[in-house]
Structure formats: structure tokens, C-alpha cells
């Protein structure tokens, strides 16, 4: 048992119990109505006590040490301002692996896992060279490097601070030898002819759609990760132009936003790429556009 949960070790009447802290936090969180209050309270308390959620819940009558109670209280206050739980925990799971995340990067979304799944279905050489444009935390590019053991990945981002996070993730996940991180605008300075696959989850929200985002997203996630300059499709439009020198047949797989299907079809029709298909996510929303160089 963790010393933090040893109820015989220094418990006193003033020290709150796990279940007392959880109940009070759940009540406050449910008034704020951001996410599931019971789960969020448990996740945060488990983190500060160095326990899993299951261990915490199995010891609900144990005492929370003062230092942990203070730390929990400060995380709870941040959560009550709307700061996402993933930033408070500095971690988000993607494709079954933990990724460091903080305010420098977009929090990886479950729907982006579809892009990885579809990429793994592509007919690729045994040691493919893969380009991930706008890598953020590195979740797509690093996952592909891990899933395809002989793959070499170049991952770009305009934001050096996002690349610092991707670099930490590459180190933690043990793929630094096969991943190169490049600070650049899309693929500028790279030779597109050397890639067998290009993947991207670019910013695809227009500035005029900002009010439709939840305050949690709008206030806390990086604007450069969310918003496409000029209009929602501008980054995709630029990808279709800037990557036109990829080899014939090379797949370009891009995550798209809700309601963007028609626009994506019309952008492809005037571009050097043919739109092979748009694959839906589990909610049935058209999510991943797969283009091939004509
Ligand atoms: C929607 S986020 C995706 C991050 C990550 N790939 C994911 O799926 O969670 C878009 C990323 O593209 C980067 N970005 C935005 N404009 C860019 C550009 N012109 N060139 C390269 N990266 C860009 C942002 O900094 C951000 O990290």
C-alpha cells in the first residue's frame, strides 16, 4: 500500500478522507458542468496521491495527506476555470500510449486515431518514409513510427514550442532514432518526392466559427492549432498545392472538420490530387479525406 494511503500513518481528525474530498469536489464540479464530475475528481486526486483511480477508490476511507490535499485543491480551482483535465494531468492517451500534453499543443482527440488506423491500412513499402504535417504533440507521426517498426518519420510544425513537446514524447516513447522534427511552414524546405505517405491533422476551424467552440477549447488550446488562417479550408488548400511534387499515387491523408465534405470535394477537383475517399469516424462524421497524387 502507498504510504499516502496508510490510514494508520499519522491520521488525525482534521485531515480529510479520500471520500470527503471526492464528494466536495464532485459537488463543485457538477455545478460547473464541464465534464463527468465524479471521474474528473477521482482522476485529479489519484494523480496527486500517486495512485491509480482504482487504488484510490479502494481506499476511500483513508486520509489524504495535507500536501496532496493542497495540490488537489489547486488543480480543482484550475479545472473550475475550464482548464482541460489533460493539461492538468499533463497527459493524454492516444492509440493506447500516454502522450505529454500541455498548453503548447492541441490535446489529441479520439477521432484522430481513425487517421492512424486508415494510414496503417495503406499499401506501403516495408520501410516507408512518412511525413506528418502539423504534428503538435507528435501523436500521429510518433504513433505511426511505433506501429510500423521500420518507418522513418519527418514531423513538422510551425510552432517550436509544440515541437519541444513532440521531442519529449519521441524520447519517452523511444523513437528518436526514426523521427525527425522540423520547424517549418507545412513542408517548406523538405523534398516531397521522398515520402511514401503524408498525413496531417491541420487547423481546420475558421475564425468566424470561434463562438461555436466550447470555452474549454477556445480559451485553453493553442489558437495556431485550432484556427486556419483566412478561412477554415486554407491550410488544406495549401497542402494540396505545396505537396504536389509527391510521387504519383502517394496517399495524402488529412483530417477534416464536421460539415466540410462538399468543400473538400470541390478543392480536390481543381487540384493535382484526386480525392479517393472520405472515411467516417465512429460517429458517422466524414473525418479523414484520402487523396492520391494524380
Ligand atoms: C489541429 S493541430 C494537430 C496536432 C496533432 N497533429 C494532433 O492531431 O493532435 C494542428 C497543428 O498544426 C500546427 N500548424 C498550424 N499551422 C501550421 C503550418 N502552416 N505549418 C506547420 N504546422 C502548422 C499547429 O501548431 C498545430 O500543432
Whichever domain contains 194, its CATH number is 3.40.50.150
Predicted pLDDT of residue 8:
39
Of 81, 110, 138, the residue that ends a domain is 81
Q: Is-above-0.85 flag for pTM?
A: yes
CA distances from 293 to 252, 261, 274 (A): 8, 19, 6
Name the 3-class secondary structure at 195: coil
Classify residue 25: in a domain, yes or no. Answer: yes
* Residue pair 183/156 in contact by the 8 Å Cβ criterion: yes
Of 50, 81, 112, the residue that ends a domain is 81
Do 68 and 105 belong to one domain? no
Classify residue 206: in a domain, yes or no. Answer: yes
Classify residue 286: in a domain, yes or no. Answer: yes
Classify residue 74: in a domain, yes or no. Answer: yes
Using alpha carbons, select from 181, 194, 190, 287 the residue that is nearest to residue 239.
Answer: 190
21 burial level (CB within 10 Å; 0-12, 13-18, 19+): buried
Q: Is 13 left (phi over 0), alpha (psi -120 to 50) or beta?
A: alpha
Q: Report CA torsion sign: 166, 168, 174, 179.
A: positive
Residue 131 structural domain? 92-293
Averaged pLDDT in 10-residue chunks for the chain of 294 residues:
41 78 96 91 97 94 95 97 97 98 98 98 97 98 98 98 98 98 98 98 97 95 96 96 96 97 95 96 96 94
Do 151 and 282 belong to one domain? yes
Ligand 1, atom 8: nearest CA belongs to which residue? 201
Give the distance (Å) from ligand 1 centre to CA of residue 157: 6
Please give the number of the atom of ligand 1 that sits closest to the Cα of 162. 27
Using alpha carbons, select from 23, 135, 10 the residue that is nearest to residue 67.
Answer: 10
Ligand 1, atom 7: nearest CA belongs to which residue? 108
Predicted pLDDT of residue 2:
42
Do 209 and 288 belong to one domain? yes
Of 46, 81, 116, the residue that ends a domain is 81
Beta bridge partners of 215: none
What CATH number does residue 36 fall under?
1.10.8
> What's the domain count of the chain?
2
Q: Which of 134, 166, 181 to mutate to test the pocket of ligand 1 (most atoms within 8 A of CB)?
A: 134
Give the distance (Å) from ligand 1 centre to CA of residue 277: 23
CA distances from 14 to 8, 31, 94, 118, 271 (A): 14, 26, 40, 55, 68
Do 57 and 113 belong to one domain? no
Give the distance (Å) from ligand 1 centre to CA of residue 136: 5
Do 104 and 49 belong to one domain? no
* Helix pair angle (160-173, 139-147), 10° resolution: 30
Classify residue 87: in a domain, yes or no. Answer: no
Predicted pLDDT of residue 251:
97
State the cell numbers at 245.
511534387
Do 164 and 70 belong to one domain? no
Do 48 and 159 belong to one domain? no
Ligand 1, atom 13: nearest CA belongs to which residue? 134
List all residues whose CB is within 6 A of at least one atom of ligand 1.
105-106, 108, 112, 133-137, 139-140, 156-159, 162, 185-186, 201-203, 224-225
Predicted pLDDT of residue 4:
42
Do 201 and 244 belong to one domain? yes
Classify residue 86: in a domain, yes or no. Answer: no
Classify residue 73: in a domain, yes or no. Answer: yes
Predicted pLDDT of residue 34:
85
Beta bridge partners of 205: 227
Classify residue 201: in a domain, yes or no. Answer: yes
Amino acid at each position: 500500500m502507498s504510504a499516502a494511503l496508510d490510514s494508520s500513518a499519522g491520521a488525525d481528525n482534521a485531515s480529510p478522507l479520500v471520500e470527503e474530498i471526492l464528494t466536495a469536489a464532485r459537488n463543485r464540479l457538477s455545478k460547473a458542468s464541464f465534464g463527468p464530475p465524479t471521474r474528473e475528481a477521482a482522476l485529479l486526486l489519484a494523480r496527486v496521491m500517486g495512485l491509480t483511480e482504482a487504488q484510490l477508490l479502494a481506499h476511500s476511507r483513508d486520509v489524504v495527506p495535507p500536501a496532496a490535499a493542497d495540490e488537489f485543491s489547486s488543480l480543482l480551482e484550475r479545472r473550475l476555470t475550464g482548464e482541460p483535465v489533460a493539461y492538468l494531468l499533463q497527459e493524454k492517451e492516444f492509440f493506447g500510449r500516454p502522450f505529454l500534453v500541455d498548453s503548447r499543443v492541441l490535446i489529441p482527440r479520439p477521432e484522430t486515431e481513425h487517421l492512424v488506423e486508415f494510414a496503417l491500412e495503406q499499401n506501403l513499402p516495408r520501410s516507408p518514409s512518412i511525413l506528418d504535417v502539423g504534428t503538435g504533440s507528435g501523436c500521429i507521426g510518433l504513433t505511426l513510427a511505433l506501429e510500423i517498426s521500420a518507418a522513418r518519420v519527418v514531423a513538422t510544425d510551425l510552432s517550436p514550442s509544440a515541437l519541444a513537446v513532440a521531442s519529449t514524447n519521441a524520447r519517452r516513447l523511444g523513437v528518436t532514432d526514426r523521427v525527425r522534427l522540423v520547424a517549418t511552414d507545412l513542408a517548406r524546405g523538405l523534398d516531397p518526392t521522398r515520402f511514401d505517405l503524408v498525413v496531417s491533422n491541420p487547423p481546420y476551424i475558421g475564425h468566424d466559427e470561434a463562438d461555436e467552440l466550447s470555452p474549454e477549447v477556445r480559451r485553453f488550446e493553442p489558437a495556431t492549432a485550432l484556427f486556419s488562417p483566412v478561412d477554415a479550408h486554407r491550410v488544406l488548400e495549401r497542402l494540396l498545392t505545396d505537396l504536389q511534387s509527391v510521387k504519383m499515387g502517394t496517399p495524402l491523408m488529412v483530417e477534416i472538420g464536421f460539415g466540410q465534405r462538399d468543400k473538400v470535394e470541390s478543392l480536390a477537383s481543381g487540384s493535382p490530387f484526386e480525392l479517393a475517399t472520405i472515411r467516417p469516424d465512429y460517429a458517422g462524421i466524414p473525418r479523414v479525406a484520402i487523396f492520391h497524387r494524380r
